[in-house]
Structure 1
């Protein structure tokens, strides 16, 4: 990320860290703990505290807080009824759109971007990494889903209608994760903190969201490192296309593993 003379200093140890930690904590309270009163209180306290410390930080944390508040208003689960899919899809869309619109047209900033066509070819290492994601997914996901029983947090896809809705839902949420947690949350936090610290802060919120979606039991041991890797990968590649590709490849293996977990005679391609 290129910095200019107008950009705030990016330091790890300063009073600015306090409201940022409160913001991440609010994500844990809202999504992982499901304590809405404590979560909303901490969310508001984060922005108010930032307002006393740094005006630009308060603006940026406010954008993230707005997105978190929007998605917290709907049940975050794998209910595949048309009504819930539309409700959840609308909330997720607004959680990305509102921060982008406010940042671009109210604050006159061009910080939140969604770089799709970067003009850069993926090097061999990037292509090999995609293969590694497939291998890790096949090795880890069936063991995790079946040994813990968390596959039951997603519906049985033996019905053709549910099969395709599950496929659509898994992929749609995967794309949204990168739009909000990486291109929005991580990007805004990087304006104020070193990349490694901004990445940790976003990964806490990212993995908390995934907990409520269904990645429970020892799921955070998978989702937190995954969120960190996605942030680091975006830092290296500066490409939404690439991090979405990584996520969708992993989610495709997840989809296959979920289908198998509910119907053990289907897709007997996993080892666990």
Structure 2
């Protein structure tokens, strides 16, 4: 049993707060200072925690090297794809080969059948997306953070971009951040910490206005679902179903004659 309160929560909270500065309010210097303070304090408090926070800090540093605002131009998609891939790959390789503990895993096949509740949750995700997302994107104006797409290749790039980021979210925030944090803290604390980072990233991506009221609970649900199912495949499927509605709503929001199927 992990303690409900420990000094290790201080550097972990500082690391999560650094993501707010780096991605939420876009203040890189204070963000890097907070990130350094988190890693340094962890080194003093707990060397095992230091190693795991260092892995997360490296991932955040890699992500912060670019803007993650929605831009579906070919050069930016290639750059963003490469950087986000490195943000997952580098901590994984360091954990596996430098630290030798193989803490970060990506459980695609668990050998466990989905329960009836897990099966019913999937259409529920689609329904919730249909009910919530049009109102959020259109009434808040957040859809304007994504480019209007009308040409076939633009629509395809938006579809691929939304899907790629959705999969990456689960690889980094759940399989990396949440997994590393729950080695040191109770699941509910680790989940709150990763949800702050998750929400900060999505803010810069474009989920602004009252978006955090939606993205923070979604991040918590994804962490809880992963802890329950232990399946990357399942949480990715949940995310992609939600993102499928995101894609359709963005297309409709920019060109209201297309896909007039939403209520808002």
TM beyond 0.5: yes
Instruction: Name the structure 1 match of 2:208.
Output: 216
Tell me how many residue pairs correspond in the alignment: 264
Secondary structure, in 3 states, of the residue corresponding to 2:108? coil
Instruction: Name the structure 1 match of 2:98.
Output: 106
Instruction: Name the structure 1 match of 2:244.
Output: 252
Which of these residues, 170, 194, 198, is aligned with residue 202 of structure 1? 194
Q: CA deviation at 1:102?
A: 0.4
Q: Following the alignment from structure 1 to structure 2, what is the Cα–Cα distance between the partners of residues 122 and 256?
A: 27
Which of these residues, 124, 145, 151, is aligned with residue 159 of structure 1? 151
Instruction: Name the structure 2 match of 1:71.
Output: 63
Q: CA deviation at 1:229?
A: 0.1
Instruction: Name the structure 1 match of 2:85.
Output: 93
Instruction: Name the structure 2 match of 1:186.
Output: 178
Return 5+ residue gaps in structure 2 as ranges.
none
Q: CA deviation at 1:175?
A: 0.2
TM-score, length of structure 1 as denominator length: 0.96
Q: CA deviation at 1:177?
A: 0.2
Q: CA deviation at 1:12?
A: 2.8
TM-score, length of structure 2 as denominator length: 0.99
Query: Is residue 2:162 matched to residue 1:170?
Result: yes
Q: Following the alignment from structure 2 to structure 1, what is the Cα–Cα distance between the partners of residues 195 and 2?
A: 18
CA displacement, residues 98-119 of structure 1 (integer Å, 9 cap, x when unaligned): 0000000011112100000111
Q: Following the alignment from structure 1 to structure 2, what is the Cα–Cα distance between the partners of residues 187 and 215?
A: 24
Q: Which runs of 4+ in 1 moved over 3 A?
A: none
Query: Is residue 2:172 matched to residue 1:144?
Result: no
RMSD across aligned positions (CA)? 0.7
Instruction: Name the structure 1 match of 2:234.
Output: 242
Q: CA deviation at 1:172?
A: 0.1
